[in-house]
Amino acid sequence: MAHFITFLLVLSLSLTFSLLPETASAQLRQNYYAKTCPNVESIVRNAVTQKFRQTFVTVPATIRLFFHDCFVQGCDASVIIQSTGSNKAEKDHPDNLSLAGDGFDTVIKAKQAVDAVPSCRNKVSCADILAMATRDVIALSGGPSYAVELGRLDGLSSTAASVNGKLPHPDFNLNQLNSMFAAHGLTQTDMIALSAAHTVGFSHCSKFSNRIYNFSRQSAVDPTLNRAYATQLQQMCPKNVDPRIAINMDPNTPRAFDNVYYKNLQQGKGLFTSDQVLFTDKRSKPVVNAWAANSNTFNSAFITAITKLGRVGVKTGRNGNSRRNCDAFN
C-alpha cells in the first residue's frame, strides 16, 4: 500500500511539473485585458506607429528585442531591465549590447501611452506591450498581422549571466540552430520562419567579416556566398571598417517584411552563415524553396512560429508582476 501511495505521489508530482509550462501559456488569451484596459491594443499601436514614423529602425529593433527577451528566461521583459550597482542585467551581456535603443524606447513609449489612461495604469505588463509592439512593427513594415495572445507578467530577475549560451550566433549550423530552438518547443520549421526577421534587420560588419576575408585555408571567401554579393560586402565593410557601421541584412527589400529573405538565400545572399545554411543544408532547403515561391504559406508559418515564441517561459501568479517602469523592478 505504501508503495502504491508513493507511486501516486510521484505520478501527481510529475504531472504537476509536466503541466507547469502549459499552464502558464494556457493563461494567455487574446482578450486578456477586455475588462481592465479594453483599448490597450489600439493605444499600443498608435504609440508604435508614431515611433515607426520617426525611424524605421523601430521595426528590426523591436522584433529583435522580443526574440532576445523570450529566449532568455522566457517572454517576461527581463531584457529591458537596467543594470544597477549590485546587478548586471541581461541587456549588458555581450550578446545583447547590439540591441538597438529604439526597441527599448518603443516599449517604454507605448507603456507611457497605456499608463496615461487612468483605468489602464499599471494593469498592462511590459512583456505584453513588447509582444503587441512586435506584432505592430511587423504589420507596419508589410508583414502579416495577427492576433496576439496576452496575459504575461513581467519577470522578477534579470542577470547577464543568464544569457550565456542562450542566443543563436551568426556562425551556427543547422544542428545548433535546431537544438537551441527545440529547447523552447520550437520546430525546425518555426526556426526557419523566425529567421525571416532578418528580412528587415541590419548587422555590424564584425558579425560576418570571416565570410568575406578569412573563411578557411582553402578559400578566403565563403564559397556558399554569391560572388558579386561578397564583393559588394567587401566594399561596404573594408578590413579596418568603423565598428559602428551597420549594413542591411536583406540587400533587396531592406524595409519590407517579406519572403524575399528566402529568395536571397536561393541566390547565395544570406548574410550570416546561420542564414545561408538554411538553403545549403538539404534538410531545410525544401522549406526555403517553398516559402520563396509562396508568400502566403510563409506568412501563415511565421504567424504560427511567433505565436509559439510568445508562449515561451511565460510568468504568471507569484512568478511575476506588472512593472510600473519597464526598465526597473517595482
User: How does pLDDT run across 224-278, given as a tens digit for each residue?
Assistant: 999 999 999 999 999 999 989 999 999 999 999 999 999 999 999 999 999 999 9
Q: What is the pLDDT of residues 281-315, one digit of tens each?
A: 999 999 999 999 999 999 999 999 999 999 999 99
Q: What is the pLDDT of residues 70-95, one digit of tens each?
A: 999 999 999 999 999 999 999 999 99
Residue 231 annotated as binding site: no
**pLDDT level of residue 19 (50, 70, 90 thresholds):** very low
pLDDT given at position 2: 52
Q: How many helices (H) and strands (E) does the chain have?
A: 13, 2
Q: Strands 202-204 and 246-248, how do they pair? A: antiparallel
Question: At how many degrees (to 10) do helices 58-70 and 101-115 cross?
Answer: 90
pTM, rounded to two decimals: 0.92
pLDDT given at position 27: 84
Backbone angles phi, psi at 247, to 5 degrees: -125, 160
Is the model's pLDDT at 12 over the cut of 90?
Answer: no
Domains of the chain from N-terminus onward: 39-163 (1.10.520.10), 174-309 (1.10.420.10)
68 in catalytic set: yes
How much is the average pLDDT of 312-328? 96
Residue 281 annotated as binding site: no
Residue 171 annotated as binding site: no
**Among 151, 90, 152, 80, residue whose Cα is nearest residue 329:** 80
Name the active-site residue from 68, 169, 184, 204. 68
Residue 253 annotated as binding site: yes
d(CA 303, CA 78): 23
Residue 136 annotated as binding site: no
Q: What is the pLDDT of residues 114-166, one digit of tens each?
A: 999 999 999 999 999 999 999 999 999 999 999 999 999 999 999 999 999 99
